[in-house]
Amino acid sequence: MNTDQIMALALALAEMTEIPADSAIYRAGEGIERVLLGIDLKSAELLAATHLGYDCAISHHPVGGSATLRFHEVLRRHVEQMVAAGVPQEVAAETVHGTAETRRVLASMTNYDHDPSVARLLGVPYMNIHTPLDEIGRRRMAAIAGGMEAEDTVGALVERLYETFGEFRNADTEIEVRVGAAANRLGRVAVSHAAGTNGGYPVAKAYFDHGIDTVVYIHCRPEDAAKLAADYGDVKNLVVTGHIASDSLGINPFVAALRDRGLIVDLFSGVIEP
């Protein structure tokens, strides 16, 4: 396979037609047979990949170039997700605007070509695939949430996620109910993921204010969860599934598809196999 085909496979699995702004091929390559894939793969790991004889290095998280400079664009996927859940378009757009603009400015302050330049120096094919794999993970969690009843408890959703996915069972972190309680009625659920990063307080608030009872994030800052708890008490629920376990939930189907096509894929840097 080549790097274009690898990216195309990820897009197909996520049912996407274009490479999202937070994913990129930094150095193209052909004849790829051995892949080193991790959640974070930067300069030191590129050197290791070269010494160990890998044909391609794939990072999940963005590591430079356009994927860093345009990262703010994928935050607007929150708008699509919120509107689909019943949040008015103008409310959703305003909720995300400030965060996206902040990330745009901060990205322009980074040394965005550092890691891609190392790949060019070493001559190793290098890419990152972020939103497509997160979308795979989001859909897997959303399918579980969609199979629950409104009268089920939040705890029942947590139990179902553990039962269904080995990534959560094998993680060193736990799925946590950060706002509300496990005994609470589940109600309407929104799985907020595959939009660059979590929406923090503003996005969860928008969901809560427009009919969603339980929001699922893969990570959330403590201060955001505390503010949500102060504002909504036990009336609403925030479930946090864990960053690395949830990323792995989207990565593993992609890895299986690469292996089905004959590639050797070695996992490291946090990926939890099911």
Over the stretch 28-53, which tens digit does the pLDDT of each residue have? Answer: 999 999 999 999 999 999 999 999 99
User: H/E element holding 203?
Assistant: helix 200-209
Cα 132 to Cα 242: distance, rounded to the nearest angstrom: 18
Strands (E), the chain: 24-27, 34-38, 56-59, 126-128, 176-179, 189-191, 214-217, 237-240, 264-268
Cα 185 to Cα 183: distance, rounded to the nearest angstrom: 7
CATH superfamily name and code, 3-129+247-268: NIF3 (NGG1p interacting factor 3)-like (3.40.1390.30)
Q: Which residues contact 249 (CB under 8 A, 6 or more apart)?
A: 136, 137, 140, 141, 165, 167, 168
Chain-centre distance of CA 196, in angstroms?
7
Over the stretch 175-200, which tens digit does the pLDDT of each residue have? Answer: 999 999 999 999 999 999 999 999 99
Handedness of CA 199, 110, 11, 258 (dihedral sign): negative
Q: Where does CATH 3.40.1390.30 sit in the chain?
A: 3-129+247-268
Over the stretch 94-105, which tens digit does the pLDDT of each residue have? Answer: 999 999 999 999
Average pLDDT for residues 5-33, to the nearest whole number?
98
How does residue 145 score in pLDDT terms, banded at 50, 70 and 90? very high
Place of tokens 């595959």: 194
